[in-house]
Amino acid sequence: MELSDNLKKIIKVINTKKTVCLLAPSFPVDFKYPDIIINLKKIGFSKILEHTYAAKLISIRYNKILKKNPKKQYICANCPSVVKYVENRYPEHKDKIINVASPMVIMGRYSRCELPDYKTIFIGPCLSKKQEATENKEIDFALTFKELQDIFDYYSENKLFKKINIDPKKVDFNKLYNDYTKIYPLSGAVAKTMNYKEIVTKKQVVIADGIKGIDLAIKKMETNKKIRFLDILFCEGGCIGGPGINSKDSLKTKTQKILDYKKECAKTPMNEHFGKFEYYKDLKLRRKL
C-alpha cells in the first residue's frame, strides 16, 4: 500500500523527534487494549496519553460555571463540529457556548507545559479535529483512527515495526487519571461526569447527538428557559460514531466496548500524585487564549 504525503510527513516526525500521542478515549471501538499502546510505541511514539485527565478538568470547570451563573443557559463546547454548527446555524446562541476548550486542546496545553520539547499528535475518530488542530498551536498534527490503521498496515507490510523489549502485562499509558471520565466518547457523558445534580435538575439538562438531535435540543432550549445545559455532540451516538472510525459495529456494541474498557482499567492502581486537580489548577482552560 502507499501512504499519502501527509502521513509520510507525520511518520518522519514520529521517528526523528520526541513525540507524544494524545489518544482519544474512543479508541477501544477500533483497537484492543493494551495492544494499541505497544503498536504506537513500535511505530516510534515516545509517550502516549489518553484524554481522561482533560475530561476531568473540563467536568470540574463546567460544574463551577453552571453553579456560578444559576440563570444562564449553556451549550457544551467539547465538540468542534457542534461549536461551528451553532456559530453558523444559530449565531444568536453562540454566547451560550461554554468558554472552555476541547479535551484535545487541553491535553495539548498540558503536554506543552510538561513536555515542551515534544511534538503533539492527536489520534481520534473525528475529522473536524484536523481543522481544530490548525487553529490551536498546542497540537502539531491530528490523525483519525482510519489513518492510524493505514500506518499500522504500512508498517506491517514493509516490516518497519520497531523491536521493543516490553512486557505486554505491564504496558500502559503514561497515566494521569483513571476513572469514570473514560465514558467521555459516549453521548451524555459530560452531563454524567460533571456532578450536575447538585446544581440543576435532570429536566434542566438536554442530551442529544446528531444534527436532528442538536436542532431539537436547541428548540427545547429556546422554548423552555428553565433548561440550563445542552450536552450535545455532532455524531450519532457521540464520538463513537465519528467518521474517522474503522469499525462497522452497531452503536450498542461500540458503547459496550467503552464500558468494558472502563471496567478493565478500574483494576489498575494509580500513582497517588497523578491526576490530582490541584497540580494543574493554573492550566488555561479557555477556548481562546
Beta-bridge partners for 142: 122
- Structural domain boundaries enclosing 44: 5-280
CA dist 34 and 28 (Å) reads: 10
| DSSP H helix total and E strand total for the chain | 10, 7
The answer to whether residue 286 is domain-embedded is no
Give the chain's end-to-end CA distance (angstroms, integer). 41
CB 104 within 8 A of CB 23: no
For residue 170, the model assigns a pLDDT of 67
Lowest average pLDDT, out of 14-23, 72-81, 129-138, 169-178, goes to 169-178
Residue 211, pLDDT > 70, answer yes
- How far is C-alpha 117 from the chain's CA centre? 22
Residue 277, pLDDT > 60, answer no
The answer to whether residue 288 is domain-embedded is no
The answer to whether residue 287 is domain-embedded is no
Q: What is the pTM of this model?
A: 0.93
The answer to whether residue 285 is domain-embedded is no
Torsional class of 188: left (φ above 0), alpha (ψ -120 to 50), beta (otherwise):
left
CA dist 149 and 165 (Å) reads: 23
The answer to whether residue 31 is domain-embedded is yes
CA dist 271 and 173 (Å) reads: 13
Residue 200, pLDDT > 60, answer yes
CA dist 77 and 143 (Å) reads: 21
Nearest Cα residue to 184 out of 47, 32, 37, 62: 62
| Total structural domains within the chain | 1
Cell of 261: 474498557
Question: How large is the average pLDDT for residues 183-187?
Answer: 95
Residue 273, pLDDT > 50, answer no
